[in-house]
A and B are shown apart, each in its own frame.
Chain A
Amino acid sequence: MSALKIFVPGDAAARAVGADETVQTIAAEALRRKIDIEIIRIGSRGLLWLEPLVEVEVAGQRHAYGPVAADQVAGLFAAGFASRALPACSHPLAHGLTEEIPYLKKQQRLSFARVGIIDPRSLSDYLSHGGYRGLAAALAMQPADIVASVSASGLRGRGGAAFPAGIKWKTVLGAAGSPKYVVCNADEGDSGTFSDRMLMEGDPFVLIEGMTIAALATGATRGYIYLRWEYPDAKRALEAAIAAAYAEHYLGDDVQGSGKGFDLEVRMGAGAYICGEETSLLESLEGKRGQVRFKPPLPAIAGLFGKPTVINNVITFASVPIILDRGAAYYQHFGMGRSRGTLPMQLAGNVKYGGLVEIAFGMSLRELLYEYGGGTLSGRPIRAVQVGGPLGAYLPESQFDTPLDYEAFAEIKGMLGHGGIVVFDDSVDMAAQARYAMEFCAIESCGKCTPCRIGSTRGVEVIDRLVAGQNAPAQELLLRDLCETLTHGSLCALGGLIPYPVLSALNHFPEDFVKSPRAHASA
């Protein structure tokens, strides 16, 4: 009889709450009880409040237990958790079949279809779960047809700017220059986001496949994944997957006998939020300070080392294989308006059930916050949520019915960005959040544009004077004026969008900016 399969995430978030200790304890306990088990480290299912989530495979189906701390392992064994005949369904940590957990079952997982299921280090696992079918389809197509397919799918850049991917690719295909490059922006710096990290750790091959398809579509021969240093686990996962892909000729000078070559490597960032901006990222890849470039020329025409360059976010590339495999129409039928397909939303901050929720565009923010998120972790009312990272607006309860759609968020002067949602309860001081936004801008500004470089520091000072009640009406006028200068006087989104969190806090929560601060309920 083969060993009993037990799955435990090797994902950094699961390891951060003790998954490694849980694995060691399970192994020791199984040895002590002479039970033959095989522990497989997988990506995270994204039900992060249940981490470490342990799954036991019985009759081909996985049963979930979580959160399993190391000191609970012995009790689970005693309850029959590692028994093939009868899973320990009555144990308080048991959640039944993983696939039936409503949080997971209600999702529409396209780009995350394999995350938490396959062994991310195993190319054969990837292949047996539909991997590289998109590449096989692409290899039988002309470059222009691949680009047309991506355009028809309606896929827009998932990094935050939501620019149609097909248009970028078409520009690179038509641009003269050699070599051409494919660059993956894996500098996921927005607070409240972790979908890129989870995908790279849980299913790195899908990113490699998506980038390879981009190379075929545009005639590029060399690729880079620009990864932030804060993700060492993702670096290990990507490098192992790249080595495996080279060994089986999915990368290299003759991809699957096509005669076309594509080389790929991982490059590490060094702690600069601005390098998530595409032109700064290219500067950084070239070995320079990550300063924003003027556009035009577009990176698609003159990008990395001055050559035509496709640059997209991790999730954008990871969405491509399924488009090529299942067809543009399949992907396009998800979503609403001009936002097609799915977006992996990330529930973060003070939220009871934090995690990754991949759903079609169109669900309301309220449904996501309460049906999935279950309200706050602290049990207090939600006062504000910040959507779209540190440059996203703070939204009050009255805006929670906004549908998750790029245009709907733009209408309320917010943005969906990379899909991160940070929840705050009623103990939050919104003036402090506005001040932090300016402080963050000052720390992370690349220094190229004066409003961002200097205005951010002045912004901190103005907010301090406003909150201290030093001629408050004049300070507020000054702050609004400064925000307007930032909006119109910055080359990139950092300076251009930092007014979003500042002004949304000021407009929706003006009571927090008056001198005698409202009595904050103690947390």
Chain B
Amino acid sequence: MTNSSLRRVIPIKVEPASLLNAEQRAAVENACQRLKELPGALLPILHAVQQALGFVPHDAVPLIARALNLSLAEVHGVLSFYHYFREHRGGRHVVHLCRAEACQALGAVGLEAHAKRSLGIDFHGTTADGAISLEPVYCLGNCALGPSMMIDEQLQGRVSTARFDALIAQARAVVKP
């Protein structure tokens, strides 16, 4: 029998979250503190961080891993699995453009080309002025009134190229607090 007092405890060194600024650090710690007791807390925490910061910074991963007693790989694996989570800061507004079949039947392929051309970016990109990020989405549940897109959390239907331009102009004019 081994005497338990002879066991050496090797402390796990947690990577410092050195690149997080104070606001980011507070948001991550707050989310962990508030939600870590939930069963299956990781997705709720990632949602809370993204809601607060607009993305989940790379250096948030060790803080979340420590709070949930998970490995960095486990947290990174989940963060990178789900399309909705952003690992980099996006634009002031995020546009999710539907690529799915019901919208294709009403010209979504042409709308996608117009969106990329007029914004000068590809999917997952952000315009030079930092106003708009463009993301693909696979169905917004508005399939009888397509083509559809979502700007931030507002769904838009019957999006012609002209309506797309008008909605983008409107979004650019709104500067979020």
Contact = CB atoms under 8 A, between A and B. Distances in A.
Contact of B105 (A193, A231, A346, A423): A423
Interface string A108-122: 000000000000000
Nearest to B74: A288
A236 B11 CA distance: 44
B105 A16 contact: no
Contacts of B84: 229, 269-271
Interface string B81-116: 111110000000000100011111111010000000
Considering residues B46, B68, B146, which has the most beta carbons from chain A within 10 angstroms of its beta carbon? B146
A12 B142 contact: yes
A91 B85 CA distance: 48
Contact of A191 (B78, B101, B153): B101
B36 to A, nearest CB: 11
A381 to B, nearest CB: 13
B141 A349 contact: no
Contacts of B103: 191, 349
B157 interface: yes
Interface in A34-52: 48-49, 51
A497 to B, nearest CB: 14
Interface residues of A, number: 62
Interface string B154-167: 11111000000000
Nearest to A305: B39
A106 interface: no
Interface stretch (B13-21, B132-140, B169-177): B132-140
Interface in B17-71: 39-44, 46-47, 68
A21 B46 CA distance: 34
A289 interface: yes
B148 interface: yes
A190 interface: yes
Nearest to B148: A16
A230 B143 contact: no
Nearest to B81: A289
A192 interface: yes
A189 B146 CA distance: 15
Contacts of A424: 105
Nearest to A12: B155
Contacts of B138: 189, 191, 273, 390, 440, 443-444
Interface in A90-104: none
A269 B47 CA distance: 9
A284 interface: yes
Given A16-B148, A270-B46, A290-B81, A422 B155 contact: no
Contact of B83 (A271, A347, A350): A271
Contacts of A233: 155
B144 A287 contact: no
Interface in A175-197: 188-194, 196-197
Interface string A397-439: 0000000000000000000000010111100100011001000
Interface of A: 12-13, 15-17, 48-49, 51, 188-194, 196-197, 229-233, 267-273, 284-290, 305, 346-351, 354-355, 377, 386, 390, 420, 422-425, 428, 432-433, 436, 440, 443-444, 446, 523
Closest CB pairs A-B (n = 7): A354-B144, A349-B105, A191-B100, A271-B84, A348-B143, A270-B82, A287-B42
Given A347-B144, A348-B105, 15 more contacts: A16-B155, A16-B156, A189-B138, A194-B142, A271-B84, A271-B85, A285-B43, A287-B40, A288-B78, A289-B81, A348-B143, A349-B103, A390-B138, A420-B102, A422-B105
